[in-house]
Amino acid sequence: MKKKTIFLIILLFLIIIPITSMATERKEGIENFPDSYKPYLLELQKKFPNWKFTALYTGLDWNYVIDNENKFGVNLVPKSYSDRWKNTNPGEYNVEVDSGWVDASRIAVEYAMDPRNFLNSVRIFQFEGLSYDEKTNTKDGIEKILYGTEFYNTTVQYVTSSGSTITMDKKYSDLILQAGKTSLVSTYHLASRIKQEVGPFLTHASISGTVSGYEGLYNFYNIGATSSSEPMGAIRKGLQYAKDGNGASETIKNKYLIPWNTKERAITGGGIFIGSSYINLGQDTVYLQKFHVVDNNSGELFWHQYMTNVLAPYSESKSIYNGYNNMGMLNTSMNFIIPVYNNMPEEAVENPNILESDFSKDNTKVYADVQTTLNIRTGPSTSYEVITSVDKNEIMTRIAKGKQSGELWDKVRLENGITGYVFQNYLKEVPEKQIEEIKLSIDNTVINKGETKKINVEILPEEAKDHEVEFSSSDNTIARVDSVRKCIRNKIWKCYNNSKSERKQCI
> What are the structural domains, with CATH classification, of the chain?
2-130+285-342 (no CATH), 139-281 (no CATH), 356-429 (2.30.30.40), 437-502 (no CATH)
Residue 175 and residue 267 in contact, taking contact as beta carbons nearer than 8 Å: yes
Arithmetic mean of pLDDT, 372-389: 96
Per-residue pLDDT at 63: 98
The four Cα atoms 250, 252, 257, 262 give a dihedral, to 10 degrees, of -80
> Per-residue pLDDT tens for 429-451?
998 766 667 777 776 667 777 77
Give me Rg for the CA atoms of the chain.
Answer: 32
Q: What percent of the chain has pLDDT over 70?
A: 86
When comparing pLDDT for 388 and 9, which is higher? 388
| CA atoms of 305 and 287, how far apart (whole Å) | 10
Residues near 254 by beta carbon (within 8 Å), at least 6 away in sequence:
none
The pTM score is 0.72
Question: pLDDT grade, residue 473 (50/70/90)?
Answer: confident
164 exposure class (CB count in 10 Å sphere: 0-12, 13-18, 19+): exposed
Q: What is the C-alpha separation between 377 and 374, in angstroms, rounded?
A: 10
pLDDT of residue 499: 43
> pLDDT tens for residues 207-262?
999 999 999 999 999 998 876 678 888 899 999 999 999 999 999 999 999 999 99
What does the buried/exposed string (b/e) look like for 130-150 if buried means 16 or more CB atoms within 10 Å of the residue's CB?
Answer: bbbbeebbbeebbbbbbeebe
- Three state DSSP letters for 462-501: HHHCCCCCCCCCCCCCCCEECCCHHHHHHCEEEEECCCHH
Burial status of residue 31 (CB atoms within 10 A of its CB: 0-12, 13-18, 19 or more): exposed
The answer to whether residue 186 scores a pLDDT higher than 80 is yes
CB 410 within 8 A of CB 427: yes
pLDDT number for residue 7 = 34
Confidence at residue 328, expressed as pLDDT on a 0 to 100 scale: 84
How many residues does the structure list for the chain?
A: 507
Which candidate, 109, 77, 68, 113, places its Cα nearest to that of 95?
77
